[in-house]
Amino acid sequence: MKVAIAREMRELDRRAMDEYHYPGLLLMEHAALAVFQRIQERFRPEKAAIICGKGNNAGDGWALARLLKLSGVAVMVFSPEVGVELPPDAETNRRMARRLGLAEQPWSALLAAPELLASCNVLVDALLGTGFHGTVTGEMAAVIDTLNQVALPVVAVDLPSGVEADTGRVEGPAVRASLTVTFGLPKVGLLVYPGREYAGEVVVDRIGFPPPLLEATKSLYYTFDRAELQPLLPQRPPEAHKGSQGHLLVVGGAPGMTGAPVLAGLAGLRSGAGLVTIGLRDGLVLSEKPLELLVKPWSELKWDTYDAIVAGPGLSTQPDGAEMIETILKLEGIPRLFDADALNLLALTPHWWEKARRPIVLTPHPGEMARLCGLSTPEVQADRLGLVRAKSKQWRVTLVLKGAATLVGNGEEPIYINTTGNPALATGGTGDVLAGLIGGFMAQGLPLSAAAVAGVYLHGAAGDLAAGEIGAAGILAGDLLPRIPRVMKWGRPSVDR
């Protein structure tokens, strides 16, 4: 599914009106109807309050007020100033609603008596739309604070006010919504943090946009759900055998850190790879080697044996590890993924990307990304979207920036924003599982971007499944492994007879 920024949505609106002759009032009516339907389904209110601003979002709010009143709901509408002129379509909806007897009160009345909201079942945020950026100040800031202090569900129209549509940035007061009904396409700011935290549940309604228009419109970002997973996953033919399903090599492990490559290797097998070999330092042994994994010392590795390589889990940054990473970096043709200490070693290598042979995937967490970029971790977190786009292009890699709302970019295609996963994944070893999962898909022949996106989505989905079955705290990285095939099954045709 495409994910839009404000400029792209303005272009969608323009093309709908110019090329398909959709009146702006029709789009506004569809938007109001989308919010109306969700409010009726979720809350069945007897009384609602709608807080409007000065732009077209206010028009959505006034159209919604009319629909609610006609359905028998008592409605209060608050505006910056009573009678303030709105944009033409919004003003038309305001006049239609006023003609039905809907009263309009100023924000000042709400601020003077917040208890006016106490008798409502639901509140609606129709203050700001996708054009907002910066910081909310003044009277509007006070109105937002009032909404956030009332213990009632808040429904945001298109976007919670105070959240930037293009970045998810929140630099001042912002509405904390229970539900956001967004129009046409999801907005970037609803899927990345901190905006994602303010949005609550997000529902996307196409509001009557012509499907060819939505499908033809280019976008800089995308995401997908379970229904879109199947085309990304490798399918096993009836004649499949272990030699035809890809051979993954995991290079890593140091004294006291041999669990990391094992987790990555097992995740590679869980992805469907036919064989996985752990490449360990000479003389290092696995005290409890899983029966399904092969093990070879570094001195016996033959690179052309493998279909993909994951380098770095538990590697450490010792000189022999640095030499190994430099060797792997310069291999020709074979897909490679660098994770953990492999990334730390790359960060110590000036202009490493000029020495690299492609194709390559990098999977840094924010701290590792900071070291690779020569930035601080807060600087990385402040510009995750921009850094993924710029660095994946500069380094000519598929870049997976881990964290809440993991991002995948390759410098050419749109950036993928992941929607699965939860804080239960904040435990040691889950990154090794992700690396092995992506590596397993690479070994099975998936293009790097597809392998990364599928791995990130399924890794988070396995974490969601584990949290639902076990609980959000105390999950181990190994708990993800048996759940990977279960979530992969969501994207596969049924094999039941």
- Domain residue spans in the chain? 2-220, 228-491
* 3-state SS, residue 153: coil
Strand residue runs (E) in 223-318 = 247-251, 275-280, 294-297, 308-311
Tell me: the pLDDT tens digits for 49-101?
999 999 999 999 999 999 999 999 999 999 998 877 899 999 999 999 999 99
Separation of alpha carbons 95 and 25, rounded Å: 13
Per-residue confidence band for 419, with pLDDT thresholds at 50, 70 and 90: very high
Handedness of CA 258, 261, 267, 270 (dihedral sign): negative
Separation of alpha carbons 24 and 27, rounded Å: 5
Question: What CA dihedral angle connects 320, 326, 331 and 336, to 10 degrees?
Answer: 90
Residue 497 has pLDDT above 70, yes or no: no
Residue 465: C-alpha distances to residues 269, 359, 402, 428, 468 (Å): 19, 32, 19, 18, 5
Please enumerate in sequence order all residues whose Cβ is within 8 A of that of 40, keeping only pairs 6 or more positions apart, or say none. Answer: 71
Percentage of the chain surpassing pLDDT 90?
91
Per-residue confidence band for 495, with pLDDT thresholds at 50, 70 and 90: very low
Q: How far is CA 419 from the centre of its chain?
A: 4
* In contact, 335 and 358? CB cutoff 8 Å: no
Instruction: Give me the pLDDT at residue 287, please.
Output: 79
Tell me: the pLDDT tens digits for 314-361?
999 999 999 999 999 999 999 999 999 999 999 999 999 999 999 999
Q: Do domains 2-220 and 228-491 have the same CATH topology?
A: no
Burial of 291 (0-12, 13-18, 19+ CB in 10 A): exposed
* In contact, 268 and 250? CB cutoff 8 Å: yes
Superfamily for domain range 228-491: Ribokinase (3.40.1190.20)
Rg (CA), the chain: 26
* In contact, 270 and 298? CB cutoff 8 Å: no
pTM beyond 0.85: the answer is yes
2-220 has which fold?
Rossmann fold (3.40.50)
